Structure 1
Amino acid sequence: MQSSARLTRLIQKGIEVIKKGPARLDFKVWTGFALTSAGILLAAQVVRSNSEVVLTPLEQLGKKLFFDNISQPAKSQSCSTCHLPDAGWTGGVAGVNLHGAVFRGADRHTFGNRKPPSSAYATFSPLFQLANPATGRFVGGTFWDGRATGELLGNPAADQALAPFLNPVEQNNPTREAVCEQVARSQYVALFEQVWGAGSLDCSTGGIEGTYARIGLSIAAYEGSREVSPFSSKFDAYFTACLEAGNAFAACGRPAEGDRSVLDPRGILTDKEFHGLTKFGQHCSACHVSHIPGPNGEPPLFTSFGFANIGTPRNPENPFYDMDTEFLDDGTPINPLGEDFVDLGLGAFLRTRPEWAALAEANDGKFKFPTVRNVDQRPGVGFPKAYMHNGALRTLEEVVHFYNTRDIPSENWPPPEVPQNVTRGNFGGVPLGNLQLDKEDEDAIVAFLKTLSDGFVNDRNKGGTQ
């Protein structure tokens, strides 16, 4: 049996290997990080170096694992099934996004209860923690409820990568050994041992714990690579030029009215997009942070990694409500409550942890702030996407209008799924749910959100298109 001390050293070695790739995996809470001159240079370098992505052997291995159909039934589902690159590393099936928004498992009769979050930029999330005991504020982790805490492998994204393999409503493998054996039959065995050493792909009882950890760390390395998290959007081109012009980081990410010629001297953003950035900075950046650097000086990550209940309504088409008639191997229904199921989010996870259970009720209905990077990335014009943790909203226009008018009775929004704890804070001088934005402001925010899709190529001589 591999000793826990040896496994700890192995995992730490893996984390250090990942850290030697693109400077991304800094697991501290980064809010309030002071941007140094070196950080400014890194922010610029990230954007410029994306044109030719060369993966390290560890990242190459992670990519192989990410796209391999490691599932039961065999060869029926991979990580990429629910995290399609062309759809912003989230759900890439049009019909699913139009309706239930929740994807089938490898067992085609089964569904989970939430839409897939994006796997891009996931490696930046800090360890799950109670950040402020006085207010009960939690940050970090991955999954919508933060339950992939990073406690196992030192990286929430690595912890998360391992969970779908064994989830009966996802890849449905019965054991870690079954996952390992499929990897051992793959065409990338030599690459696995090149990265982790001879004998590292050990599926025996004594070796499986370490092997399974290596699989998770490898996938996280790929998710942290510049192929998945490249900072190559139109916003990043603007942001780099803004810094190079001598402007402060915060001013570039949350501009004040009237600063266009100073902050965007090359005209990379259109007037409408810049207006949207200004309004976004005023009303949205408290949660989707646009003015604070990443942990190593990267451009803004557009999330504070916190949690809130923003009053999202139920998605009546969520197929999880029908999972009271589908059963697990032990004979219990996947969703015993059927239509009566209520997704309590963070609160439900906290109830599973004795040290945090007392705070669970106060966190019912809260879900993690996702990054809005790639929020409009799609494989083609007109391809539908779904938004919020349950896919209840279907367009960016609807999302922005919801935040703007949620609490205006005449708008007739459905009631929140979890009515307690709904966030009603003050954002930019006005309350969330009644932001008092006009149609022009809403449209401008949507236009700005579309600048966050990776893969932008800018002609600096021509600038932006007005």
Structure 2
Amino acid sequence: MRSKSIPVLALMSAAVLLLVATGAFAQPTLTSQEQLGKNLFFDTKLSLNENQSCATCHAPESGWTGPDEAINVDGAVYEGSIPGAFGDRKPPSAAYGGDSPILYYDGTKWVGGMFWDGRATGWTLGDPLAEQAKGPFLNPKEQAIPDAAALVAKVQASEEYADLFAQQCPGTDTAELYNCIGRAIAAYERSSEVSPFTSKYDYWLKGMAKLTAQEHLGRALFQGKAKCSACHIIKGKQPLFTDFTYDNLGIPKNPLNPATIADPSWADPGLGGFLESLKKPEINYMAEWGKHKVPTLRNVDLRPSERFVKAYGHNGYFKSLEEIVHFYNTRDVPGAGWPVPEVAQNVNTAEMGDLGLSPREEAAIVAFMKTLSDGYVLP
């Protein structure tokens, strides 16, 4: 028995080493700051009623966005720590946002910032991602902690990571400790655990995987006839599939959005609303009315199961990649039957609406986007 078991164990060890080499079992090593960020990201105690963490709305199994299928199918807006408190938009992905620049106007368009409306500008910390990470904790429609001091007290009371917090965030100034919390979460979101570049597409770029004929067609259409890469740009060795700008796609109002149910006349102003809050001239903010940040398409199809429903668009109106691609293709085609846009101003008609794609071409684009899911295991 012993002489037979040795080669078996050797084969098993070789197999494990192969899986590690291909990334199937590989686990990234987090820095102390990233580990603190991870602890903070998954801690449900960091909410008013200790029932909600960042991961409640940004879960890894669904591409770091909403993991509750029933919510995605419905209004797509997640309830906060306080029962009945809802935001206005579906959760964007928490991954691959670390390269978004500080919000600026380049003379023709706004670029950078975080959140759908850009309000985490980076103007204070020099890092939009860190500013975004601070926001939900004190938002009454999200984690609803009353103030920064209460948040810091909760973190310092943690049995799991209080010592790590003290090490990474020394001092007693509440504002600085609050900033340190944001920076730690941003570090985790930038880490190779959250933004690992392990999709089939990434391996194809390295010559380690082969795309199917349908996926190749989808890639060509994505960069050509379908005009997807005009905003979801493919650039460099690790493309992020976004240009960090803002756009009004003419998405219809989601009738199941709690904000719409409360006020049927409400329409999401997006970036324009944020700029109005800054007291920008009307001519400036109205030019951005209804525009929302172009999201990354990485992990756009990542889900816990094949039939799991994700929501797409800033308001979650669409429930599948097939549906939103068909919308891009046919929004302006007479008789297509799409409802009117939520916001009629500033709708992008140059890069979408009547693309002339066939059903085969739409399916190919969807197939290509499915290659952007992390966790691909090499055959």
Query: What letter is aligned with 1:378?
Result: R
Distance in 1 separating the partners of 2:81 and 2:209? 47
Q: Does 2:228 align with 1:284? A: yes
Contact preservation (8 Å) 2:138, 2:144: yes
Identity %, equivalent residues = 48
Q: How does 1:223-234 map to 2 (within 5 A)?
A: 223-234=189-200
Distance in 2 separating the partners of 1:94 and 1:212? 32
Q: Show structure 2 runs of 5+ residues with no match.
A: 1-21
108, 114, 134: which one aligns with 2:89: 114
Q: Does 2:178 align with 1:212? A: yes
Contact preservation (8 Å) 1:144, 1:368: yes
300, 305, 311: which one aligns with 2:250: 311
Q: How does 1:38-187 map to 2 (within 5 A)?
A: 51-131=26-106, 133=107, 135=108, 137-186=109-158, 187=160
Contact preservation (8 Å) 2:23, 2:377: no
Contact preservation (8 Å) 1:303, 1:372: yes
Q: How does 1:264-283 map to 2 (within 5 A)?
A: 268-282=210-224, 283=227
Contact preservation (8 Å) 1:350, 1:357: no
Distance in 1 separating the partners of 2:272 and 2:281? 9
Contact preservation (8 Å) 2:56, 2:66: yes
- In the other structure, the counterpart of 2:161 is 188
Distance in 2 separating the partners of 1:101 and 1:188? 32
Secondary structure, aligned partner of 2:110: strand
Q: Does 2:311 align with 1:386? A: yes
- In the other structure, the counterpart of 2:273 is 348
Contact preservation (8 Å) 1:82, 1:103: yes
Distance in 2 separating the partners of 1:142 and 1:70? 24
Contact preservation (8 Å) 1:311, 1:419: yes
Contact preservation (8 Å) 2:203, 2:209: no
Contact preservation (8 Å) 1:50, 1:226: no
Q: Deviations over 1:40-59 (max 9, x none)?
A: xxxxxxx9799331001100
Q: Deviations over 1:250-292 (max 9, x none)?
A: xxxxxxxxxxxxxxxx6611111111111111120010011x2
Query: What letter is aligned with 1:450?
Result: K
Contact preservation (8 Å) 1:145, 1:367: yes
Offset of residue 456 of structure 1:
0.5
- The change in CA–CA distance for 1:356 and 1:124 in structure 2 (over 3 A counts) is farther
Contact preservation (8 Å) 1:89, 1:119: yes
Q: Deviations over 1:362-400 (max 9, x none)?
A: 111111100000000001120100000000111100010
Distance in 2 separating the partners of 1:81 and 1:398? 26
Q: Deviations over 1:330-379 (max 9, x none)?
A: xxxxxxxx221111111100101235654100111111100000000001
Offset of residue 128 of structure 1:
0.6
Distance in 2 separating the partners of 1:446 and 1:381? 14
Distance in 2 separating the partners of 1:146 and 1:456? 31
Secondary structure, aligned partner of 2:117: coil
Query: What letter is aligned with 1:54?
Result: T
Aligned residues: 355
Query: What letter is aligned with 2:243?
Result: S
Distance in 2 separating the partners of 1:316 and 1:92? 21
- In the other structure, the counterpart of 2:366 is 446
Query: What letter is aligned with 1:285?
Result: S
Distance in 2 separating the partners of 1:381 and 1:318? 25
Query: What letter is aligned with 1:368?
Result: K
Q: Does 2:323 align with 1:398? A: yes
Distance in 2 separating the partners of 1:396 and 1:322? 25
- The change in CA–CA distance for 1:86 and 1:422 in structure 2 (over 3 A counts) is same
- In the other structure, the counterpart of 2:12 is none
Q: How does 1:425-444 map to 2 (within 5 A)?
A: 425=350, 427=351, 432-444=352-364
